[in-house]
């Protein structure tokens, strides 16, 4: 059994060490990063196509690590994991491509990005808590330093907030899983899922620790609620996204936020689904709040980065909505099962879509920032479609995908989510539609303020996209269109995985 | 009474006789032939002759191990006594060798002679088992030491110290004799074994208590135990260095030897311990010495006074061992006394050299010694650490052995543990003041960086003592042929 | 073979004492050679013994009349700690490579004292005869004093004396207990295992245990007897701080386990009455340990001297070790020993960063002053080293501290749930102070880009010796973090072989 997954995780890590030696030479470091990420992308594409369509875990690697603590080296991917690997590779590649000018210590910069990528890969392939937690934390550190060292004015505080919030969530996760270990003697996700499905888990916890299963569930939830984020644990996000260097924001919104949703799907729902079902209503309320308030907040922002930061909150809110809708107190009817499947399909696809789209949007923002000399206010621009039609056109595609225009990828996932959520919880679905409407308004406003309208003097000679940039951005946009028009390319595998997962859960 | 067997007496006291003869010989040689020679030659000759005398006596003792007693136990010659005596002779020899370069006296012949007389007194004290013999021997020792203390005629301090020593000592001797007389009155005999038997048959009377207190006063003075210690700091400070060394070493060994014997005499049966007045006296003296000695040493700025107070503390530890009164504790005390004495001789040797160079024995005089003479500093390091009880030096082993013996002694019970605890705690405190000296030696910068002059003889002796201190610490069984351990 | 570690160190120390003062460079090269050979022996011994139980190393009659033998043996715990000592010794010498550049450095004396200290530490870990153990324990005190008093920095004479006296006082307490035990058991043996078999009366154990445990715990930095530690660590030169926090404090914890708990296990039993919820010495000391964890962390959080932060963090981490020992569970004890190793390495790294790499160059340890120096840019090696060491010290998974802390927490949860919570809080505070120090010292919000016109101070480049030392320690921590079984497979059987009373979790 060739250790494909280990190799995948190792490639960026090793490249990170190499990049450190590049020191001050941006081109060298960037090339190393490029090569490594391209390799990872190739490998993750291969994995995606190689896992087949039955939805079970593939490329499983197991080895004893510290048996006395239930720690095992256990890796594996199913459709969900493979899609996330693909996303991580794509977004990392985009981030590296967007990092053309690094003010200082480029070697360190690219090393940190590569380390972050490795952390992402590790999280998405881990099936034992220790290993998973190791990479979860491992991705936190480079992110912190990327914000802290290369960010804009006020980055210190933003980085601090980011660190503290995520740490608190991590501690909650750690404590919950330590408790699980104490009760069951295992840290393996698959084992714990099986135990949860048969009810063994609850009785084991009861026996060893008392009636705290719900508290454990909430602790785990907290860990992920901070990461996604779920309102009201989101307050770190706008500052962090806006102060971070924009390529780093691409990574944050494109990939790291998905770690939270992935965690919910891989850890929270399988192991604590039954407990979460007991608090479904408050959770749904919070998810709805996230959707609507996220969109609303985006509407009143004056800084483009903050607009899309809040918009990210909104888009991921749909994922949360779907996830919480799926935890039905009693799911037996076939229709609800279908809805659950649809909702989860939507979640998985939305993760990928939003990652792709948001990364692309922030990439465009980077280009905008470079050309404007650092300005990114929504009112700083206007009428750019005259001097830079291609730029506006391409960015428009990305924006419309975010809006959810049919024909682009964003629509499919949002549709699936609503298709799934309406039967399961029509109230939240109905209210969340507001989010769709507000988002539409936001995007259109951006387009109007930035692309159309009077053209200020200083932007008369706004440079359009160079050939290189067009080539670089094209694949992402093409992918958006392809997935929008032929979503079954991805949905086949996703659905198989979702059905497999649902079969194993007891909600 | 048995008829005096003078032949036996002569044989038993042959070592002492050797010393007496040699001392007379020294006087003859020095005043006869060497009067016109320089001080240093005279001093060297006198001391070397004295050392030879000690060597001779030692050889004799080694060659004729005896287990005999003379005159109804007036004097005994057992292996333990022989060990003590050899130790005393060795210490005297070392002191003499270290004082070869001393310049405090214009009467070197008399000096060496009186030292030998004092040594004779020490040896007799160690062997004596009769009250009168004890007294006479102690007086011989004390008078010699009084005179020696005053030997630095050009120093007012020396004269003052000698006067204090003499007055105090004379008074204590009087007390002791008075106490002895009461003991005789109570028991009808002056032999220690006789006294043991007689006291066992009696109950404790006020007269006995008075007698014991008086005897304790006398002996307590000799070993500088609280509350009879007041002479010690001044005497240690004022006397010439070799004399101070002698007081601190040989005289202590002898006094403890006789204390062990006396305790044996005053306490007949082992389980008499708990209620025995004598033991109670010893214990209080011990506790007081340990506490006061260590505490007072903390604030001293003169290294000699520091050593004096530390000597009081060490006397306290040894008194604990005597109070425990078992055969093991007795030999442990002797071991402790001998090794402590050896270390102290070394320490005073270093002090003498530093005083010669820097003119005072204050702590600052030692500053930067490690720079000026690394070997000398290293020996001082070993001596002081041994006194503090740091392994692997002999001081640690001696303490361990002593305290183990105290705890193992039958009938010791809880007071023993409590006292050992106090002793160890105080010993921990003692590290502070020893480190004060060593801090000056190793850490502080020297006032002048010129190398400190040491004569080869002195250095050789100090090194030998230092090596012995280290080796005995690592291989304590080296002495077990003479002083049984365990 | 393991005994060679002791002999080589002492022989080296003796030879170095004879070197002339002018041979500065030769002294340090020689010292490094000796330390490396010691490490080689330790590693070889570790590998050779594998996961065996006790490996007997030497057994010679010393003072047979008193039952004292020169007995050396190494069970799993000892082998791990000997390994730690070897690593710390080599790293310490590498980080002292600047000593010997000038004559006034007195390099030969420095390395002589250093090696003597190492020799004593090796001896303690390998001794099975209690007298011998005590001898080695005491031998280690004097070199510590001189290392700090002569080559230290802030208030060095005071710090050195405080350390020496506290250590000596602790050892006096231990000696009383040992003597009492020796006498009570008939005075014919000082062998640890034989004495452990002897059934001391419970009343005896009830006072002997706290006495001996406290004596050793003083050296381990247990609250409230810890005050020597921050002062001493700050005063000491870098290599000495590394050894003090990294290895010497472990001597105390080792003594607690090997002597106090093994000889007097019933001293941990409940008293039969309880006062304010405390019903046994076990609870008392666990309480002290837990307080130490939080107190150390909290005080570290408000320090302005960088080295004090690390000093107090050592107190906090050692509290975790002691808590682990007192859980009396397999997992807690495993964790405690692993934490001893892990913290030993990490403390070395932290002190090396602060003392050697930063202080040597900037001559300040004040966090406020450092925050103005843009050290993140000026000294990237030091900055990132501290990031890694700090993360490891926080307990980040992937480094050695995580597994150890998890084990201790699990054990503590089984034994004293509330203390486990307190310990957890302490660990979280640990994240806070490490991060605060890191922020202020290296990554404070000074402008990054040189284009801002603020000049970046120039410092001497990192020397090969510093790099080598860092590599050694960091690689070890990473290795053990990723594959803790390297050590756990050796520690667990040794813990299992401890007297049964120590593994019952406090249940009779």
Q: Where are the domains of chain C?
A: 1-213+227-263, 288-447+454-508
pLDDT for the residue numbered B444? 82
Mean pLDDT of A222-243: 89
pLDDT for the residue numbered C213? 94
Condensed to tens digits (0 to 9), the pLDDT of residues A163-194 reads 888 888 888 888 888 888 888 888 888 888 88
User: A49 exposed, middle or buried (CB, 10 Å; 0-12, 13-18, 19+)?
Assistant: exposed
For the cut 90, the answer to whether the pLDDT of residue C399 exceeds it is no
- Mode of pairing for the β-strands spanning C55-63 and B68-70: unpaired
Helices A304-326, A280-299: axis angle to 10 degrees equals 160
pLDDT for the residue numbered C396? 86
pLDDT for the residue numbered C185? 86
Cβ separation C380–A108 shorter than 8 A: yes
Distance from the B35 Cα atom to the nearest Cα atom in chain C, whole angstroms: 44
> Can you list the positions of beta strands (E) in A67-196?
71-77
Mean pLDDT of C447-471: 69
pLDDT for the residue numbered C448? 44
Tokens of A224: 């992920």
Tokens of C21: 């003062």
pLDDT for the residue numbered B347? 95
- Is B1 within a domain? no
* Contact residues for B418 (Cβ-Cβ < 8 A; gap 6+): none
For chain B, list residues whose CB is within 8 angstroms of any CB belonging to chain C: 370, 378, 385, 390-392, 396, 400-401, 403-404, 407-408, 417, 420-421, 424-425, 427-429, 431-432, 435, 439, 442-443, 476-477, 480, 484-486
For the cut 60, the answer to whether the pLDDT of residue B16 exceeds it is yes
For the cut 90, the answer to whether the pLDDT of residue C465 exceeds it is no
- Is B485 within a domain? no
pLDDT for the residue numbered B486? 52
- In this complex, is the C-beta atom of A303 within 8 Å of any C-beta atom belonging to chain C? no
Residue window 170-189, chain C: list those with CB within 8 Å of chain B. 171-173, 175-176, 179-180, 182-183, 187
Q: C103: pLDDT confidence band, cut at 50, 70 and 90?
A: low
Integer Cα distance of A169 and A415 in angstroms: 31
Mean pLDDT of A225-246: 89
pLDDT for the residue numbered C451? 44
> Can you list the positions of beta strands (E) in A78-156?
none
Cβ separation C183–B407 shorter than 8 A: yes
Q: Do chains A and B touch (3 or more CB pairs under 8 A)?
A: no
* Residues C314/C233, Cβ–Cβ less than 8 Å: yes
Locate tokens 């192991």: which residue? A271
For the cut 90, the answer to whether the pLDDT of residue C27 exceeds it is no
Cβ separation C182–B439 shorter than 8 A: no
Distance from the A156 Cα atom to the nearest Cα atom in chain C, whole angstroms: 6
Compare all CA atoms of chain B with the CA of C104 and give the residue at the minimum distance: B371
Q: B59 vs A288, B32, B64, CA distance in Å?
A: 106, 28, 9
User: A229 exposed, middle or buried (CB, 10 Å; 0-12, 13-18, 19+)?
Assistant: buried
Compare all CA atoms of chain C with the CA of A180 and give the residue at the minimum distance: C410
Tally of domains in chain B: 1
Secondary structure, 3-state, C262-303: HHCHHHHCEEEEEECCEEEHHHHHHHHHHHHHHHHHHHHHCC
Q: A496: pLDDT confidence band, cut at 50, 70 and 90?
A: confident
Integer Cα distance of A419 and A60 in angstroms: 33
Tokens of B62: 């080694």
Q: Which of A472-481, B83-92, C267-276 has the highest mean pLDDT?
A: B83-92
pLDDT for the residue numbered A332? 59
pLDDT for the residue numbered C212? 94
Condensed to tens digits (0 to 9), the pLDDT of residues A349-389 reads 999 999 999 999 999 888 888 888 877 888 888 888 888 88
Mean pLDDT of A435-450: 90
Would you say the C-alpha torsion A72, A73, A79, A84 has a positive or negative sign?
Answer: positive
For the cut 90, the answer to whether the pLDDT of residue B379 exceeds it is yes
Q: Given C67, C149, C175, which is nearest B424 (Cβ)?
A: C175
For the cut 80, the answer to whether the pLDDT of residue A54 exceeds it is no
Q: B291: pLDDT confidence band, cut at 50, 70 and 90?
A: very high
Q: B342: pLDDT confidence band, cut at 50, 70 and 90?
A: very high
Distance from the C275 Cα atom to the nearest Cα atom in chain B, whole angstroms: 26
Of A36, A49, A137, A150, the residue nearest A89 (C-alpha) = A36
Lowest mean pLDDT among A313-322, A378-387, B261-270, B304-313: B261-270
SS3 content of chain A, % helix, strand, coil (to 5): 75, 5, 20
Q: Given B408, B432, B484, which is nearest C183 (Cβ)?
A: B408
Share of chain A above pLDDT 70, in %: 99
Q: B411: pLDDT confidence band, cut at 50, 70 and 90?
A: low
Mean pLDDT of B325-336: 85
Q: B273: pLDDT confidence band, cut at 50, 70 and 90?
A: very low
Share of chain C above pLDDT 90, in %: 38
Cβ separation C409–A103 shorter than 8 A: no
Mean pLDDT of A90-117: 88
Integer Cα distance of A6 and A60 in angstroms: 10
For the cut 70, the answer to whether the pLDDT of residue A45 exceeds it is yes
**Alpha carbon B17 to chain centroid distance?**
21
For the cut 50, the answer to whether the pLDDT of residue C278 exceeds it is yes
For the cut 60, the answer to whether the pLDDT of residue B2 exceeds it is no
- Is B383 within a domain? yes
Q: A286: pLDDT confidence band, cut at 50, 70 and 90?
A: very high
pLDDT for the residue numbered B1? 46
Lowest mean pLDDT among A459-463, A477-481, C385-389, C450-454: C450-454
pLDDT for the residue numbered B146? 93
- B52 vs C372, residue with greater confidence: B52
pLDDT for the residue numbered B245? 93
pLDDT for the residue numbered C85? 94
Q: To which H or E segment does residue B227 belong?
A: none
Q: Given C63, C142, C176, which is nearest B485 (Cβ)?
A: C63
Query: Which residues span the domain enclosing B307?
Result: 6-479
- Which parts of A21-105 fold into alpha helices (H)? 26-50, 79-98
- Name the pTM for this structure: 0.86
φ and ψ at residue B224, rounded to 5 degrees: 60, 55
For the cut 80, the answer to whether the pLDDT of residue C360 exceeds it is no
For the cut 50, the answer to whether the pLDDT of residue C92 exceeds it is yes
Q: C-chain residues within 8 Å CB-CB of A205?
A: none
pLDDT for the residue numbered A330? 60
Q: B-chain residues within 8 Å CB-CB of C180?
A: 407, 417
φ and ψ at residue B128, rounded to 5 degrees: -75, 140
Q: Which of A61-70, A332-341, C365-374, C478-487 has the highest mean pLDDT?
A: C478-487
Q: C-chain residues within 8 Å CB-CB of B417?
A: 176, 180
Integer Cα distance of C384 and C389 in angstroms: 8
For the cut 70, the answer to whether the pLDDT of residue B157 exceeds it is yes
- C443 vs A16, residue with greater confidence: A16
Integer Cα distance of A76 and A73 in angstroms: 10
Condensed to tens digits (0 to 9), the pLDDT of residues C208-223 reads 999 999 999 999 999 8
φ and ψ at residue C395, rounded to 5 degrees: 105, 30
- The subunits that touch chain A, with at least 3 C-beta pairs less than 8 Å apart, are C
Give the gyration radius of chain A's Cα atoms: 22
Which of A64, A65, A67, A68 is most worth mutating to test chain C (most C CB atoms within 10 A of its CB)?
Answer: A68
Cβ separation C407–A155 shorter than 8 A: no
Lowest mean pLDDT among A497-506, B209-218, B313-322: A497-506
Among left, alpha and beta (phi > 0; psi -120 to 50; other), residue C366 is beta
SS3 state of residue C432: helix
- Which parts of B99-205 fold into alpha helices (H)? 108-127, 131-149, 156-187, 192-201
pLDDT for the residue numbered B272? 47
Q: B274: pLDDT confidence band, cut at 50, 70 and 90?
A: very low
Q: B485: pLDDT confidence band, cut at 50, 70 and 90?
A: low
- Which parts of C56-155 fold into alpha helices (H)? 76-94, 107-126, 130-139, 141-151
Integer Cα distance of B55 and B50 in angstroms: 9
Condensed to tens digits (0 to 9), the pLDDT of residues C184-204 reads 888 788 888 888 888 888 888
Torsion of CA A112, A118, A120, A121, to 10 degrees: 170
């Amino acid at each position: 059994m060739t250790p494909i997954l280990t190799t995948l995780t190792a490639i960026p890590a090793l490249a990170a060490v190499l990049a450190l030696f590049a020191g001050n030479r941006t081109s060298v470091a960037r090339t190393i990063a490029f090569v490594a990420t391209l390799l990872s992308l190739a490998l993750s594409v291969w994995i995606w196509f190689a896992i087949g369509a039955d939805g079970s875990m593939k490329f499983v690697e197991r080895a004893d690590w510290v048996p006395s603590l239930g720690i095992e080296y256990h890796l594996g991917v199913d459709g969900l994991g493979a899609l996330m690997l693909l996303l991580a590779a794509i977004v990392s590649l985009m981030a590296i491509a967007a990092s053309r000018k690094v003010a200082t210590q480029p070697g360190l910069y690219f090393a940190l990005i590569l380390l972050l990528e490795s952390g992402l890969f590790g999280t998405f392939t881990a099936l034992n808590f220790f290993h998973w937690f190791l990479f979860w934390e491992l991705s936190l550190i480079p992110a912190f330093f990327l914000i802290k060292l290369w960010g804009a004015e006020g980055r210190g505080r933003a980085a601090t907030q980011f660190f503290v919030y995520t740490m608190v969530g991590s501690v909650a996760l750690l404590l919950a899983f330590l408790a699980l270990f104490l009760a069951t003697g295992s840290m393996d996700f698959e084992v714990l899922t099986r135990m949860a499905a048969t009810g063994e888990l609850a009785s084991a916890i009861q026996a060893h620790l008392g009636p705290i299963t719900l508290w454990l569930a909430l602790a785990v939830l907290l860990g992920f609620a901070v990461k996604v984020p779920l309102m009201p644990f989101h307050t770190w996000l706008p500052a962090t996204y806006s102060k971070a260097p924009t390529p780093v924001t691409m990574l944050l919104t494109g990939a790291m936020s998905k770690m939270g949703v992935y965690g919910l799907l891989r850890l929270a729902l399988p192991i604590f689904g039954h407990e979460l079902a007991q608090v479904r209503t408050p959770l749904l309320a919070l998810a709805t709040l996230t959707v609507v308030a996220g969109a609303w907040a985006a509407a009143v922002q004056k800084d483009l980065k903050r607009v899309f930061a809040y918009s990210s909150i909104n888009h991921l809110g749909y994922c949360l909505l779907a996830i919480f809708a799926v935890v039905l107190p009693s799911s037996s009817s076939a229709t609800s099962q279908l809805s659950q499947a649809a909702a989860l399909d939507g979640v998985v696809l939305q993760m990928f879509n939003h990652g792709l789209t948001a990364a692309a949007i922030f990439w465009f923002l980077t280009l905008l920032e470079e050309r404007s000399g650092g300005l990114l206010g929504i009112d700083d621009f206007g009428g750019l479609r005259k001097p830079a039609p291609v730029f506006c056109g391409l960015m428009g595609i990305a924006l419309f995908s975010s809006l959810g225009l049919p024909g682009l990828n964003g629509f499919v996932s949002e549709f699936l989510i609503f298709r799934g959520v309406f039967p399961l919880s029509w109230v939240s679905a109905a209210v969340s539609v507001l989010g769709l409407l507000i988002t539409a308004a936001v995007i259109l406003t951006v387009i109007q303020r930035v692309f159309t309208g009077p053209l200020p003097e200083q932007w008369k000679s706004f440079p359009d996209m160079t050939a290189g940039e067009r080539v670089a951005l094209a694949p992402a946009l093409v992918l958006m269109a392809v997935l929008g028009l032929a979503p079954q390319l991805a949905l086949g595998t996703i659905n198989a995985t979702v059905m497999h997962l649902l079969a194993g859960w007891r909600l | 009474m048995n008829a005096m067997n003078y032949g036996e007496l002569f044989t038993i006291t042959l070592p002492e006789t050797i010393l007496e003869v040699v001392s007379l010989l020294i006087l003859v040689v020095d005043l006869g032939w060497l009067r016109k020679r320089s001080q240093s030659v005279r001093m060297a000759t006198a001391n070397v002759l004295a050392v030879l005398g000690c060597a001779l006596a030692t050889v004799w003792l080694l060659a004729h191990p005896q287990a005999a007693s003379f005159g109804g136990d007036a004097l005994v010659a057992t292996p333990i006594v022989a060990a003590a005596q050899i130790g005393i002779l060795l210490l005297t020899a070392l002191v003499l060798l270290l004082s070869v370069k001393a310049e405090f006296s214009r009467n070197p012949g008399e000096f060496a002679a009186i030292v030998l007389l004092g040594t004779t007194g020490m040896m007799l004290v160690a062997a004596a088992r009769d009250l009168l013999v004890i007294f006479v021997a102690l007086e011989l020792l004390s008078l010699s030491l009084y005179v020696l203390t005053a030997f630095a005629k050009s120093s007012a301090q020396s004269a003052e110290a000698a006067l204090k020593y003499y007055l105090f000592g004379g008074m204590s001797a009087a007390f002791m004799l008075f106490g002895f007389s009461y003991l005789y009155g109570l028991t009808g005999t002056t032999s220690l074994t006789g006294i043991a038997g007689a006291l066992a048959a009696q109950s404790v009377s006020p007269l006995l208590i008075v007698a014991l207190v008086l005897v304790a006063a006398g002996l307590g003075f000799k070993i500088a135990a609280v509350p009879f210690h007041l002479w010690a700091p001044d005497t240690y400070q004022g006397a010439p260095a070799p004399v101070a060394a002698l007081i601190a070493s040989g005289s202590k060994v002898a006094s403890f030897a006789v204390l062990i014997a006396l305790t044996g005499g005053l306490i007949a049966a082992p389980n008499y311990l708990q209620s025995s007045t004598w033991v109670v006296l010893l214990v209080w003296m011990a506790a007081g010495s340990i506490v006061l000695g260590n505490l007072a040493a903390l604030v001293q700025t003169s290294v000699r006074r520091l050593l004096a107070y530390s000597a009081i503390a060490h006397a306290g530890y040894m008194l604990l061992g005597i109070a425990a009164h078992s055969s093991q504790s007795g030999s442990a005390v002797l071991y402790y006394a001998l090794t402590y004495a050896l270390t102290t001789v070394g320490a005073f040797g270093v002090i003498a050299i530093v005083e010669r160079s820097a003119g005072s024995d204050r702590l600052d005089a030692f500053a930067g010694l490690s720079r000026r003479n690394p070997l000398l500093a290293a020996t001082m390091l070993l001596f002081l650490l041994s006194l503090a009880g740091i392994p692997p030096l002999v001081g640690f082993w001696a303490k361990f052995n002593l305290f183990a013996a105290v705890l193992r002694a039958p009938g010791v019970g809880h007071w023993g543990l409590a006292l050992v605890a106090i002793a160890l705690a105080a010993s921990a405190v003692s590290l502070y003041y020893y480190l004060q000296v060593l801090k000056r030696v190793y850490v502080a910068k020297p006032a002048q960086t010129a190398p400190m002059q040491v004569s080869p003889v002195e250095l050789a002796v100090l090194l030998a003592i230092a090596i012995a201190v280290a080796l005995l610490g690592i291989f304590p069984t080296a002495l077990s042929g003479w002083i049984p351990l365990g | 073979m393991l005994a060679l570690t002791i002999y080589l160190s002492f022989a080296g120390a003796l030879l170095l004492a004879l070197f002339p003062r002018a041979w500065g460079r030769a002294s340090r090269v020689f010292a490094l050679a000796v330390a490396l050979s010691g490490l080689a022996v330790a590693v070889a011994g570790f590998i050779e013994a594998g996961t065996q139980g006790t490996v007997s190393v030497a057994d010679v009659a010393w003072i047979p009349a008193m039952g004292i033998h020169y007995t050396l043996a190494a069970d799993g715990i000892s082998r791990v700690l000997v390994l730690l000592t070897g690593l710390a010794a080599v790293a310490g010498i590498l980080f002292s490579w600047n000593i010997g550049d000038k004559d006034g450095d007195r390099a030969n004396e420095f390395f002589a004292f250093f090696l003597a200290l190492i020799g004593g530490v090796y001896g303690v870990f390998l001794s099975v005869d209690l007298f011998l153990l005590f001898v080695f324990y005491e031998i280690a005190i004097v070199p510590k004093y001189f290392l700090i008093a002569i080559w230290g920095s802030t208030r060095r004479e005071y710090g050195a004396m405080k350390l020496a006296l506290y250590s000596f006082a602790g050892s006096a307490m231990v000696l009383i207990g040992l003597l009492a035990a020796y006498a009570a058991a008939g005075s014919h043996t000082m062998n640890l295992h034989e004495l452990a078999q002897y059934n001391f009366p419970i009343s005896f154990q009830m006072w002997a245990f706290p006495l001996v445990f406290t004596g050793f715990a003083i050296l381990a930095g247990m609250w409230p007897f810890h005050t020597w530690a921050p002062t001493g660590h700050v005063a000491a030169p870098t290599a000495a701080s590394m050894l003090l926090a990294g290895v010497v404090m472990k001597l105390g914890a080792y003594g607690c386990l090997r002597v106090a708990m093994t000889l007097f296990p019933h001293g941990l039993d409940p008293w039969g009455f309880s006062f304010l919820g405390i019903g046994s010495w076990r609870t008392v000391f666990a309480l002290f340990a837990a307080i130490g964890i939080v107190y150390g962390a909290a005080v570290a959080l408000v320090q302005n001297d960088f080295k004090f932060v690390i000093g107090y963090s050592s107190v906090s981490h050692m509290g975790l070790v002691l808590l682990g020992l007192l859980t009396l569970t397999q997992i807690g004890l495993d964790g405690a020993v692993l934490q001893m190793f892990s913290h030993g390495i990490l403390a070395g790294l932290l002190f090396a960063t602060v003392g050697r790499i930063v202080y040597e160059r900037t001559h300040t340890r004040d966090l406020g002053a450092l925050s103005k120096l843009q050290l993140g840019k000026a000294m990237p090696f030091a900055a990132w080293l501290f990031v890694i060491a700090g993360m490891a010290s926080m307990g980040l998974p992937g480094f050695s501290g995580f597994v150890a802390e998890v084990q201790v927490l699990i054990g503590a949860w089984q034994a004293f749930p509330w203390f486990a919570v307190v310990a957890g809080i302490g660990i979280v505070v640990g994240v806070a102070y490490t991060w605060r120090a890191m922020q202020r010292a290296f990554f404070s919000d000074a402008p990054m880009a040189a284009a801002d016109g603020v000049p970046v101070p120039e410092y001497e480049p990192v020397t090969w010796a510093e790099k080598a030392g860092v590599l050694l320690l960091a690689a070890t921590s990473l290795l053990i973090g990723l594959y803790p079984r390297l050590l756990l497979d050796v520690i667990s059987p040794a813990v299992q072989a401890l007297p049964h009373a120590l593994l019952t979790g406090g249940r009779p």
